[in-house]
Chain A
Amino acid sequence: MRGATHPRHDLDEVIHAPVRLSIMAALSGAERIDFRFLRDTIEVSDSLLSKHIVTLENAGYVNVDKAFVGKRAKTWLSLTEQGRAAFARYTDVLRQITEGATRA
C-alpha cells in the first residue's frame, strides 16, 4: 500500500496467523522443542501442525531436525536466526500497535 504508515502494515503475514503465531511463540521460548510436545501445547492435529511448519520452514523461519533412536523417530523443531529476528520484529510491531491504541 502506497504511503501506508500504520504499523499494522509492517506485520509479517507469515507469522500473523493463529497457528503459526503459536508455533513461533512456542519456539521462541526454547532452543528446540519436540514435535509432539508442540502439538500438545498448541492443541492442533499432526497434519495441521505439519502444514504450518512447512510454511514456516519455506520462509526460512523454522528448522526441522529428524533424529532416529533405534526405530523411533523424534522430530525436533527450532527457530532459525532469521526466524528469531523476524519474530522479534513482529513483536515490536505488535507493541507499536498496542501502544498507539493506548495513546489514541
Chain B
Amino acid sequence: MNDRLSAEEALREIDQIGGSVRRSGRWAGRWMFALGFGAVVYWLAILLGGETLRGIAGWGWMLFVAGSMVYVFRQRVFSRAIWRLQWPIAAGFLLTSAAATLFAVFLMPDEPGPQWVALAVLTAVVAGAPPIWGGWVLRHREVTG
C-alpha cells in the first residue's frame, strides 16, 4: 500500500474493507432464524408430540443451545444491528418461552381437540417469533445497508 492515498483510493478502500467486515457480521441474522424456527419445532414437538418425540426434542434443544453458545463465542465480528437488538430480542424470547412453558404445564390437555391443537401451534409460533423477527430485521438491514 502506498504511503499517500488519493481521495478516490481512500473511498475505494473504505467501501471494500467496510463491505468485507459487514459481510462477516451477517452470521447473526442466519443464527437468529435458526434459533426462532428451532424454537417453533421444539414447542410443536413438546405440545403435540408423543413421549419419544418430546424426549428427542428436549435433547435436540439442549444440543442446539450448547452448539449455539460455541458458535456465538467463536464469532469475530459483531454488527452494530445485533449489538442494539440483542437485549430486546433476548427479553422477548424469554417472555414468549415462559408463556409457552406455562401453557404446556397448566393448560394443554393430554388429549387435545382441534381447537387446542390450533392454540398449541399458535403458542409454538409465538414462542419462536422474537428471534425470527430479529433475523428478519437483521436480514432487511443487510439488504438495505
Smallest CB gap from B23: residue in A? A29
A32 within 8 A of B: yes
The distance in angstroms between the C-alpha atoms of A37 and B78, with both chains bound, is: 11
Smallest CB gap from A91: residue in B? B14
A50 within 8 A of B: no
The A contact surface, by secondary structure, is helix
A25 within 8 A of B: yes
Question: Which of A25, A29, A37, A98 contacts B13 (CB under 8 A)?
Answer: A25
Instruction: Establish whether residues B13 and A36, one from each chain, have CB atoms under 8 Å apart when the complex forms.
Output: no
The distance in angstroms between the C-alpha atoms of A25 and B21, with both chains bound, is: 9
Chain A residues closer than 8 Å to B21, beta-carbon distance: 25-27, 29-30, 33, 41
Instruction: Establish whether residues A98 and B77, one from each chain, have CB atoms under 8 Å apart when the complex forms.
Output: no
Which residues B72-98 have CB closer than 8 A to chain A?
Answer: 73, 76-80, 82-83
Chain A residues closer than 8 Å to B20, beta-carbon distance: 26, 29, 41
Q: Which residues of B contact A (CB under 8 A)?
A: 1-3, 5, 7-8, 10-11, 13-14, 16-22, 24-25, 73, 76-80, 82-83
